[in-house]
Amino acid sequence: MVKKILLVILAAALLLAVVESLTAQPPGRGSGGRRGGGAAPQGQAPLPANEQEKKILSVLEDMDRNQSRGMMNVPMEDGRILRLLTEAVGAKHVVEIGTSNGYSGIWFCLAMRTTGGKLTTHDIDEGRASLARENFKRAGVDNMVTLVMGDAHETIAKLKGPIDVVFIDADKPGYTDYLNKLLPLVRPGGLILAHNVNMGSQMQDFIKAITTDPNLETVFDGQGQDLSVTLKKRQVK
């Protein structure tokens, strides 16, 4: 019992540290609409712990430099946040809506190398999905990924829980529908992450949904509210 309590306290402290770092980051933008031009916060690049991680980070760096145009990828610092949160919750199953070229998906896989997790990612564009498959393979994470083609509003109906992390980065008016369909599958203590939630009136229903439900706790990344982090609360017995 004591060990379990200590683990809960440690997890809570880690999540609090993450939230503080999220809300402290400035919303400034670099070239091409990407914050800081794709650079990590304060100019510090991620530090690889081993050769495999070094390989994955080099692929991510190449994608950030040479494939970002037209792909609507998250900035590198947001990718690092995705990795940190995924590893912190010990994710075994991450569901992503909006694969694009696989950039954010590789960040998730980088985290799940240590958790033994798998990524299920959904996209409707075969051209981008084909590029994503190539990127997953050259990063050496393709065995961790299931790429589902088709309209995600329909294909996610085939998913089964529990889901540890959901990441929504697709059609903005569809965010609320994705949330409503996936939230019942997210385990208590799991996370719902959403990108570009600062895009005006089309996001208001989604923002209302994640900020007015007493069973959820939501924070936003910086003043621009570019990334929302929503915790599905555990119920106290």
Indicate which CATH number applies to the domain containing 188: 3.40.50.150
Q: Is residue 107 in a domain? A: yes
Q: Is residue 34 in a domain? A: no
| pLDDT tens-digit profile, the chain (237 residues) | 444 434 443 454 455 444 444 444 433 333 333 444 444 445 577 888 888 999 999 999 999 999 988 788 999 999 999 999 999 999 999 999 999 999 999 999 999 999 999 999 999 999 999 999 999 999 999 999 999 999 999 999 999 999 999 999 999 999 999 999 999 999 999 999 999 998 888 899 999 999 999 999 999 986 555 899 999 999 887
Q: Is residue 161 in a domain? A: yes
User: In what helix (H) or strand (E) does residue 62 lie, and over which residues does it extend?
Assistant: helix 51-66
Q: Is residue 7 in a domain? A: yes
Q: Is residue 222 in a domain? A: yes
Three-class DSSP category at 146: strand
Threshold 0.85, pTM exceeds: no
Q: At what angle do helices 103-112 and 126-139 cross, to 10 degrees?
A: 40
**157 is in which domain, residue-wise?**
2-26+46-232
- Gap between the Cα atoms of 24 and 181, Å rounded: 31
Q: Is residue 52 in a domain? A: yes
Contact (Cβ atoms closer than 8 angstroms) between residue 233 and residue 215: yes
Q: Give 47: exposed, middle or buried? Use CB within 10 Å, 0-12, 13-18, 19+.
A: exposed
Q: Is residue 201 in a domain? A: yes
Q: Is residue 218 in a domain? A: yes
* The total number of structural domains that make up the chain: 1
